[in-house]
Amino acid sequence: MAERRADVTWNGDLMNGSGTIDRVGSGAFGPLDVSWPARTEDASGGKTSPEELIAAAHASCFSMALAHGLAQAGTPPERLSSSAAVTFVPGAGITKIALMVRGRVPGLDADGFRAAAEDAKTNCPVSQALAGVGEITLDAQLNGCAGRTARSTREPEALVLLQHKRWFARSPQSSHRLGQGARAWSSGRRKNGLCCCNTSRQ
């Protein structure tokens, strides 16, 4: 069993007052300023809010649950990037939480990743603590080609080079550049660590 603690001081009334998250038990952060306008206005003025802290807690708990579920299924993730957006409406409370995750998971397809993410969304401890929230949505996608089959990740360069060969064949003046250009293209992608099916860095 683990217990975590946070200490807060509030001064004044709700609308005009302000508070401070003085410290947390771990010492990881604090003091942090909090105020009512920081909860209800688009511009937070550099102050935090309970909803922002809930968003951080939910995104991190969800990521842990998803990483664990994927590993238990035999497809541990290389990387998960998650976020949570918490909507607060005065008088109604927290009305929506939108979870988003992008993952790099070798050996797993998009459907499998979404299923694992849905399970994590439902069962992570923070999700369960927030079960009273009316709407919790999830956007889960794999990055690049991490979820492709072993065959497609072993042979992409050969396929792309074949496509380049067909393209160069259309222009006799360009065909003599095929060998040199293809080798440079392949070497450059390996040097820069680029995904075989995406032109951006992963």
Three-state secondary structure of the chain? CCCCCEEEEEECCCCCCEEEEEEECCCCCCCEEECHHHHHCCCCCCCECHHHHHHHHHHHHHHHHHHHHHHHCCCCCCEEEEEEEEEEECCCEEEEEEEEEEEECCCCCHHHHHHHHHHHHHHCHHHHHCCCCCEEEEEEEECCCCCCCHHHHHCHHHHHHHHHHHHHHCCHHHHCCHHHHHHHHHHHHHHHCCCCCCCCCC
Q: Quick check: is 53 in a domain?
A: yes
Same-domain status, 114 and 142: yes
Same-domain status, 65 and 142: yes
CA distances from 55 to 19, 25, 83, 107, 117 (A): 19, 19, 8, 30, 17
Same-domain status, 94 and 182: no
Q: Which two tokens stand for residue 47?
A: 């102050």
Please give the pLDDT value at position 44: 86
Same-domain status, 118 and 56: yes
Domain, as residue range, for 154 = 150-192
Same-domain status, 174 and 143: no
Q: How far is CA 62 from the centre of its chain?
A: 10
Q: Quick check: is 119 in a domain?
A: yes
Same-domain status, 39 and 116: no
Same-domain status, 173 and 95: no
Q: Quick check: is 36 in a domain?
A: yes
Please give the pLDDT value at position 162: 40
pTM of the predicted model as reported, rounded to 2 decimal places: 0.72
Same-domain status, 63 and 92: yes
Residue 123: Cβ within 10 Å count: 12
Please give the pLDDT value at position 96: 98
Same-domain status, 59 and 7: no
Please give the pLDDT value at position 135: 97
First-to-last CA distance in the chain?
38
Same-domain status, 80 and 98: yes
Please give the pLDDT value at position 152: 37
Same-domain status, 95 and 73: yes
How many domains are there within the chain? 3
CATH number of the domain to which 77 belongs:
3.30.300.20
Q: Quick check: is 27 in a domain?
A: yes
Q: Show pLDDT as tens, one digit a residue, over the chain (202 residues).
A: 999 999 999 999 999 999 999 999 999 999 999 999 999 998 888 999 999 999 999 999 999 999 999 999 999 999 999 999 999 999 999 999 999 999 999 999 999 999 999 999 999 999 999 999 999 999 999 997 444 433 333 334 433 344 444 444 444 444 444 445 444 444 444 444 444 333 333 3
Q: Quick check: is 134 in a domain?
A: yes
Q: Quick check: is 199 in a domain?
A: no
Please give the pLDDT value at position 70: 98
Q: Quick check: is 162 in a domain?
A: yes
Q: Quick check: is 112 in a domain?
A: yes
